[in-house]
Structure 1
């Protein structure tokens, strides 16, 4: 059990962090990456100029700005002519009605 002074210290620390705009984030990673993740968090938290460059690099590496729609994600590299007439075909007759 924490003492009253320990509880007060924790509360004060958390209140100051929130006032600075910080949030607590917990991640699970392999031991080999733990130092890298700590360094990343420290840079993002405390070094504004390096953090800006790091954010930019990470965004370029992790987020594909070219992908904008579902078609961009699932689209085909085939020419439009390959799909000519496929979607214009009428439905086949004789399909059974859906049971509700």
Structure 2
């Protein structure tokens, strides 16, 4: 069960990363270069760039035509939170791979 929860959480994490990159690309395509750079820099410095990108994505969802990307990103975030809560309630902390 722990391996399945870890796998789902990892897939959600990959989905979140892909959506983050897609929204960043849309920022640059729509002449929001400054905000794109700010989001990239703050992501690496303190991690808040992902949140800024998420909020700006929803604010500009109609203008940038990224409804599907933002819906997938939101679902991945919510699913990841739910999966992690379930894992905590079940006492799953880490998945140990045999032989490593």
TM-score (norm 2): 0.25
CA radius of gyration, larger in:
1
Higher relative contact order (CA 8 A, sep 6+): 2
More helix by share: 2
